[in-house]
A = this chain, B = another copy of it.
Amino acid sequence: MKIVLDAMGGDYGPAPNVEAAVSVAREFGYEIVLVGRQEMIRPLLVQHNTAGLQLPIVHASEVIEMYEHPAQAVKAKKDSSIVVGMQLVARGDADAFVTMGHTGAALAAALFHLGRITGIHRPCLTTAFPTVKGWVLLCDLGANVDCKPEWLVQFALMGSVYAERVMGKRNPRVGLISNGEEETKGTQVVQEAHAMLKHAPINFIGNVQGYDIPLGNADVFVTDGFTGNVIVKFAEGMKTMVESLLREAFMTNLQTKLAGALAKDAIKQIMKQRLDYEEVGGAPLLGVDGVVIIGHGRSKARAIRSALLRAAETVERRVVDAIEDGVKALSSAMSASAALPASH
């Protein structure tokens, strides 16, 4: 297993990336290729005991900053860690690419250097999303804003494959986000996607609504990149709001202040365990012809370590092949259903 890690990715720079790489190389024996500025990576690496570990550095002189325009940056910065790292995978020199860096740039570089899996219209960005019943998969998160129905159907298929193979969900329940349960609810695009999904070779449970997401009433939630992006960012804001309300509640009087002192750590811990990215590390960019895992910019070593392990699993469980097979099966199912009389 040879995984390329964008050592420059994320809000905390190379240090947590190097730490995570060392930890995974030591514990699992994987080769982790650190791509980025060698003059920054090497001094961090020598602080660790790396005897016998496979931790090569591939120098890349440039870094794509978070504010840059994705496609333009990928074109202009040919020697950036994201571009150089993606090329290693594209050339077959490595099995997977992992980054905590610029999501849009990773998407653009993946499209340019890896290309799409045969038959896939558009790749989709995913995220593991916390629910009362554990982590589920949400896609798309913003790669595709104006979607066609058949794109949503493919997102559903790809999400189902990943949830089954990597997230350990058996026969994952796939829900299509809409503004009502009935199949007549939703935008024109959602209604058409619903009609097609009924014939798709996945466990489609129909439309799901906003409240079904935090309640974990599906394993894979499918939506367009506009809605997905709004949902994920709304959840972020709501978390901040709840924290603020709790602080306020604990400040009510002496009794609640005591309660706050007693329960603060337990609440923090449970919120961290159940709502934070550290556990899941990253989520795949699905539909490109290679394994790409993109993590949160705020990831620390523990989250990056999880992302590297997710990448290894995605390679081992042959997710890319499974999507390729799935798309063929989907295409046959769609043709077969189109051949049926309209009443069926």
Residues of A that sit less than 8 Å from B by CB: 131-132, 142, 145-146, 177-180, 185-188, 190, 209-215, 223, 225-227, 229-238, 240-242, 244-246, 248-250, 252-253, 255-256, 258-263, 266-267, 269-271, 274-275
Picked from B209, B226, B249, B266, the residue with its CB within 8 Å of the CB of A187 is: B226
Please determine whether B179 and A145 come into contact, CB atoms closer than 8 angstroms.
yes
Supposing A215-B240, A240-B132 touch, asked if A145 and B187 sit within 8 A by C-beta, the answer is: yes
Docked CA distance A255–B262 (Å): 6
- A-B contact list, 13 entries, CB within 8 Å: A132-B241, A145-B185, A146-B188, A187-B226, A210-B233, A212-B237, A213-B234, A245-B274, A246-B267, A250-B263, A252-B270, A255-B262, A258-B259
**Majority secondary structure, A binding face:** helix
- The 10 A-B pairs with the shortest beta carbon distances in the complex, nearest first, are A210-B233, A211-B237, A210-B234, A259-B263, A259-B262, A179-B229, A214-B237, A214-B241, A259-B259, A252-B266
Q: Give the chain B neighbours of A187 by CB distance below 8 A.
A: 145-146, 226
Q: Give the chain B neighbours of A179 by CB distance below 8 A.
A: 142, 145, 225-226, 229-230
Q: Give the chain B neighbours of A233 by CB distance below 8 A.
A: 209-211
Q: Give the chain B neighbours of A235 by CB distance below 8 A.
A: 210, 234, 238
Closest to A238 in B: B214
Docked CA distance A250–B229 (Å): 32
CB distance from A139 to the nearest CB of B (A): 14
Please determine whether B266 and A256 come into contact, CB atoms closer than 8 angstroms.
yes
Please determine whether A234 and B214 come into contact, CB atoms closer than 8 angstroms.
yes
Please determine whether A211 and B226 come into contact, CB atoms closer than 8 angstroms.
no
Docked CA distance A225–B233 (Å): 18
Closest to A189 in B: B146
Please determine whether B259 and A237 come into contact, CB atoms closer than 8 angstroms.
no
Docked CA distance A224–B86 (Å): 37
Docked CA distance A247–B205 (Å): 30
Please determine whether B256 and A263 come into contact, CB atoms closer than 8 angstroms.
yes
CB distance from A212 to the nearest CB of B (A): 7
Please determine whether A241 and B258 come into contact, CB atoms closer than 8 angstroms.
no
Please determine whether A234 and B211 come into contact, CB atoms closer than 8 angstroms.
yes
